Amino acid sequence: MSQAPIPAPAPADGRSTVRPSRLPAWLIVVLVGAIGLNLRASLGSVPPLLDDMNRDLHLSSTAAGLLTALAVVFMGLCAPLGQRLGARIGAEVATGLMMALLAVAGVVRLVPLGAPLLFASVALAGAAMGGASALMPSLIGHHVPSIRGFTMGIYSAGLAMGVAIAAGTAVPLEHLLGGWRPALATWGVISAVTAAAWLLITPALRGSTGSAPEHAVVVDHRMPWRSRTAWWVTLFSTSQMIIGFSGLAWITPLYVSLGKTSQEAANMFVLFQVVQLLTMLTLPALSDRTRDRRPLLGFVVASTVIGISMLLIDPVGLAIPCMTLFGMGVGGGSTLGLVLIVDVTSTQADAARLGAMTLLVAFLAGAMGPFVMGVLRDLTGGFVAGYSVMLALSVAMLLAVVAYRPGRTIHDQRPRAADSA
């Protein structure tokens, strides 16, 4: 059954009404894609340089895993703060500020002050990425409602492409610029350019919103903690974050430990990310053709199960098929997680609240994946135990797919009307 067109969502803050934007839609889509490129790039640039960083800063495997985990923790903690900041000063301005903060976090890595500054910059970058991530779905629904599915696909693809480009260029940039510090700082400069471009169009974006009396609409900004459906959506995104960030942090070190060069290992990681990109570009079109997400959910989770299984059986001989299936599962899962948020909400305000809740839980839990992988590597000397944990989680989610029936909303199954979100 074809899904009926979804009407443009109501404003998230309850104080504005939408007028046609003075900006062409293609320009907004391009800048949304550019922001997506930046929001995960700093995570992708670290793994290929990890060995050199470890030698320079004397990091253990546990500490190296903590680099990604720390960024993801701050992404989760600051996702609700981004949503709150957007409600106060406008999502457009808040997004520009988050991008500027991300630029500072990248450029400061040029300062040779050792591991403490590196970890501080990672936390700052995570805060900026989390705040911006919470704002993007509502911005897309607000400014390009007629093509929001397409734009969401471009944004999701930008996330994967940014990680892939950062991973693929990290080692060449290190050789070109003379060290891992300037290689990492390069993405800070790119973020600064993106922030400047976004802030230049911000007045025109805000001009497409007309003021309404503040008392006209009362909007609940609380996250929907008491909604059972909200928790099902959050559970799916959380599992994808744990598995995806574990792959992001440890695929390159895995292949280095198996005797591959840094560039060969980075190429395997790039394949993992490129497949994610292709999946993110194709799934939104497929998801628009049916209301029942379970077949697609089952397909992507099954792809993850098979891919990780191949990785455990023969990571070198089956490198290409296992990276392809693993990337397909992670990319498809992350995109469908965004689609589920839209499926179970009917207004921009509800989508923002659920998005903030989902990102808070998913990022915080997702941070445990790379950290646990690092701890298990220190304890066992290899990656089998860590990837076995990821496989078990994937199998559990495959069994849970039946719960995602169509027609659920975050207002279903509420314990008390007064307390539910």
Question: Predicted confidence band at 416 (pLDDT cuts at 50, 70, 90)?
Answer: very low
Highest-confidence range of 13-17, 76-80, 388-392, by mean pLDDT?
A: 388-392
Question: Predicted confidence band at 15 (pLDDT cuts at 50, 70, 90)?
Answer: very low
- Checking if the pLDDT of 91 tops 60, the result is yes
Q: For residue 243, which of 158, 312, 178, 308 has the smallest C-alpha distance?
A: 308
What pLDDT shows up at residue 7? 36
- Checking if the pLDDT of 69 tops 80, the result is no
Domain 23-403 listed as CATH 1.20.1250.20: yes
Per-domain boundaries in the chain: 23-403
What pLDDT shows up at residue 412? 60
Question: Predicted confidence band at 5 (pLDDT cuts at 50, 70, 90)?
Answer: very low
- Residue pair 195/99 in contact by the 8 Å Cβ criterion: yes
What is the SS3 assignment for the chain? CCCCCCCCCCCCCCCEEECCCCCCHHHHHHHHHHHHHHHCHHHHHCHHHHHHHHHHHCCCHHHHHHHHHHHHHHHHHHHHHHHHHHHHHCHHHHHHHHHHHHHHHHHHHHCCCCHHHHHHHHHHHHHHHHHHHHHHHHHHHHHCHHHHHHHHHHHHHHHHHHHHHHHHHHHHHHHHHCCHHHHHHHHHHHHHHHHHHHHHHHHHHHCCEEECCCCCCCCCCCCCCCCHHHHHHHHHHHHHHHHHHHHHHHHHHHHHHCCCCHHHHHHHHHHHHHHHHHHHHHHHHHHCCCCCCHHHHHHHHHHHHHHHHHHHHCCCCCHHHHHHHHHHHHHHHHHHHHHHHHHCCCCHHHHHHHHHHHHHHHHHHHCHHHHHHHHHHHHHCCCHHHHHHHHHHHHHHHHHHHHCCCCCCCCCCCCCCCCCC
Question: For 150-162, what is the mean pLDDT?
Answer: 82
Highest-confidence range of 280-294, 312-326, 403-417, by mean pLDDT?
A: 312-326
Residues 6+ apart with CB under 8 A from 206: 90, 92, 93
How many whole angstroms separate alpha carbon 335 and alpha carbon 2?
Answer: 19
How many whole angstroms separate alpha carbon 123 and alpha carbon 74?
Answer: 6
Across-strand partners of 16? 211
Residues 6+ apart with CB under 8 A from 233: 337, 340, 341, 344, 354, 358, 410
What pLDDT shows up at residue 43? 78
- Residue pair 94/131 in contact by the 8 Å Cβ criterion: yes
**Angle (nearest 5°) at CA 280 between 279 and 285:** 95
Residue 172: Cβ within 10 Å count = 13
Amino acid at 396: A
- Checking if the pLDDT of 323 tops 90, the result is yes
How many whole angstroms separate alpha carbon 382 and alpha carbon 384?
Answer: 6
What pLDDT shows up at residue 162? 87
**Angle (nearest 5°) at CA 241 between 53 and 73:** 60
